[in-house]
Amino acid sequence: MYFDNGVILILGASLLASSAYALIAPFFPLELEDKGISDQNIGFIFSIYSLAVIIFSPPVGRYLEVIGYTKMLISGLTLMGITFILFGIIDSLTSPDIVLYVALLLRFLQGTAVAMAYTTIYAIITNKYPNRKEQLLGMLEASFGVGLICGPLAGASLYNIFGFEKTFYIYGVFFLLCTFFLWYFIPELEYQTRPSIETGGSGSSFII
């Protein structure tokens, strides 16, 4: 399969987003327990991520053509990286209530970022690669799986070596650097409507 800029963008973004989702699994619940957060509230912290995805996926899809596909995708990844860095401040908080509210807010923002990223990824596959979408969806799921494998391994390793706070700082900076790489080296993907040569009507196409 030919890997053009669009394919590299969506697979790289998917791997980053899924690894970020799974990174905290080995250690975050234990740290929350040490901060005095109940099991029920830990469940809320993890669930609010999916709530944000449900809330923001429809409006993201609606405004994709207005904002632009690459801009929306890179904005989502940037927001994700920033929230990772901010997670590091939880280590210095002592009040369980403040820890709970900060964790809920940051997880909600992460869910929003994922809604921006994955809604855009599926739109790119559907509109730019209509004849290859089955192959790309399979590769997308594979990249998602790779991220789910790498995330916990990286998270556990960083946590054991550097501790809670620095784990988020290091991975957050790494995440933002990868996002900058995708943005800088991959041209803007735009969606435009233009006359169809065959039918004389209007047709839609992606351009790079």
The DSSP 8-state label assigned to residue 172 in this structure reads: H
pLDDT digits (tens, 9 = 90+) for 49-74: 999 999 999 999 999 888 888 889 89
In the chain, the number of structural domains is 1
The residue type at 176: L
Spatial separation of the C-alpha atoms in residues 54 and 173, rounded to whole Å:
27
Spatial separation of the C-alpha atoms in residues 165 and 179, rounded to whole Å:
21
Spatial separation of the C-alpha atoms in residues 70 and 190, rounded to whole Å:
8
**Residues near 18 by Cβ (< 8 Å), separated by ≥ 6?**
143, 144, 145, 146, 147, 148, 151
Contact (CB, 8 A) for 55 and 152 = no
Spatial separation of the C-alpha atoms in residues 108 and 24, rounded to whole Å:
15
Residue 34 structural domain: 5-207
pLDDT tier at 1 (50, 70, 90 boundaries)?
low
Domain CATH code at residue 110:
1.20.1250.20
What pLDDT does 190 receive? 58
Tokens of 40: 């029920």
pLDDT digits (tens, 9 = 90+) for 94-140: 999 999 999 999 999 999 999 999 999 898 888 888 888 889 999 99
